[in-house]
Structure 1
C-alpha cells in the first residue's frame, strides 16, 4: 500500500474525502524533502481517516501509542518523524484558521515537530551550511543567526504591504516565487524549514484565493526544494546566478494547472573549483 491508495478518493464526488486525500498526499509527499518515507501503518490510518472511520485527532493518538511501544532505533525514529509530521501537516491543511504573521510561521514549526525536535518552534542560535546535490555540494548562504528575528519580521512586513492589484498573473507568480524563496532562505529553524515553509505557503495562497489541490507537492516536493535552492545561490565567477525560473514553473503548475515538465536534473549545476 502507498499513497497512490488515495487516488480513488481524489476522483470521488464527495468533497470531504477528496480534500482529505489531497491533504494526505501533500503531507506524505513533503517528507521526501528530508529523505523520509512513512510507514504502511500510517497509510492505513490515513485511509481510515479519509473514510471517516477515525478523526485526525484519533490518528495522532494512535501514532503516539504505536511508537511508544516500539524500541527506538535511528531508522525507526526517521519513520516515526515521517508518520507523525505527515499527520500533523494533514491536520494543519484541514484547518482553515490562518494569520499572516511571523508568530503563525513559528507556531506551524512547533505544531509539526513538537516531541520530535528539541528546538520545535524556536529560532536557531547558530549559523548553518548544507551541502546541496543540486549545487554539486556547495551551500546556500542562509540567514545569520544574530539577525533571524529581524529578517523574518522584515520579510513579513514587505509582503504585507505589497499590493497585487492590477498585476498580470505572470507578475503575481514571479512575486510569489520571490517571497517564498526569501522566506525559506532565512532558514529560521535548525531543521524542518522546507516543510514548515510549504505548509505556511499553502495556507497563505488560500487566503489569496488560490485553490491548492493537486499533486504538485505530493509528487514534486524535492523539485520544490531544489528550486528554492537555485533561487538563492550565486557563483558569479562561474556565471551562475540566482533564479526563480524553476520555482515559477512549479507555481504555474500548482496554481494555474499548467503542465510544465519538472525534472531535478534540469536544476543541477556543476561548480568549478
Structure 2
C-alpha cells in the first residue's frame, strides 16, 4: 500500500475531489488510534470513489461482498478498519449535524453497528486502559453510574459558552479543554476516540473551521495520546494534566501551523528516556 495515496487529492483544484480525498484520508488515518490498518482493497475502492467512478454506497456494497467471500479470522480486525473507515467517510461527507448528546451517541452507533454489540449504548461498567504514554498507567474515566449526566452537563456547558471577544489562543485552549473533557467521559466500551474525533470535526465546522487538511489522518495516535495527557495527574511524580499537546495539534489543524507533533515528547518518562539514550561520540 502506498504511504499516502490520498495526499495528492488535497492539492486538487476540483472541490469535490479535494473534499472526498480529505474525508477518506481522515477516515482511514483515524483507525490508527486503535492500531488498525485498512486493506488495500478499501484504499483502491476509495480512490475510485474520489475519482467519481463509484458512489459511497457502491463502495459499501463492494466491501460487504468482499468480506462475505473472504471471512476474517477472529484476531484480524482489518474488516473493522475497512467498515468503520467507509462509515466515517460517509459521515464527514454529510452536512447534517446537531450539537447534542444524542448526535454523539448516534455517531458511535453508525460507526460500529455490526462490529460491537454495544454500538450506540452507554457502558454500564467501569473501565481502565493501560496507556503507553503513561508507562502503563490509566486515565480515570467517567463513573458508569454518572455517564449520561456527565455527558449532558458537558454539552450544556459548551452550548452556552460564548466565544465572542476571545483571542485565537483562548479559542484553541477552550476547544482543547472541551474535547479532552468529552473524551474523558468514555461513555462507550470501545470506539470512544474515533467517535469523539468525528463528532469534534463536525462541531468545528459549525464554528467556521474548515480543517480539511491531513493533521488528523497523519497524527491520529498523537491526538489520542494528547487526550490522555490532558486527563492524567500523578502529583507524587510531578506529572500534571495539560492541554499543551492538544493545543499544538489544534493549532496545526485549524491554523495550519507546523508545530512538531511527536508522541515521545508526551511520554511521562520522556526526560528519563533522554538520559538513557546513547549519545553519539564525536
**What interval of TM-score do these two structures reach, taking the shorter chain for normalisation?**
over 0.9
Within 5 Å, give how 1:90-239 maps onto structure 2.
Answer: 90-239=89-238
Q: Please state whether the residue corresponding to 1:5 is helix, strand or coil.
A: coil
Long gaps (5+) in structure 2: 273-282
Asked whether 1:43 is paired with 2:78, we answer no
Deviations 1:179-221 (Å, cap 9, x if unpaired)? 0000000000000000000000000000000011111111000
Long gaps (5+) in structure 1: none
Which residue in the other structure is 1:269 paired with? 268
Compute the TM-score of the two structures, normalised by the length of structure 2.
0.94
CA distance in 2, matches of 1:182, 1:260: 23
Which residue in the other structure is 1:31 paired with? 31
Runs of 4+ residues over 3 Å off in structure 1? none
Which residue in the other structure is 2:241 paired with? 242
CA distance in 1, matches of 2:226, 2:178: 13
Q: Report if the CA contact (8 A) 2:10-2:21 is conserved.
A: yes
Which residue in the other structure is 2:67 paired with? 67
Q: Please state whether the residue corresponding to 2:4 is helix, strand or coil.
A: helix
Q: Please state whether the residue corresponding to 2:46 is helix, strand or coil.
A: helix
Give the alignment's Cα RMSD to 1 decimal: 1.2
Deviations 1:105-151 (Å, cap 9, x if unpaired)? 00000000000000000000100000000000000000000000000
Compute the TM-score of the two structures, normalised by the length of structure 1.
0.97
Count of residue pairs the alignment pairs up: 271
CA distance in 1, matches of 2:233, 2:10: 40
CA distance in 2, matches of 1:33, 1:9: 23
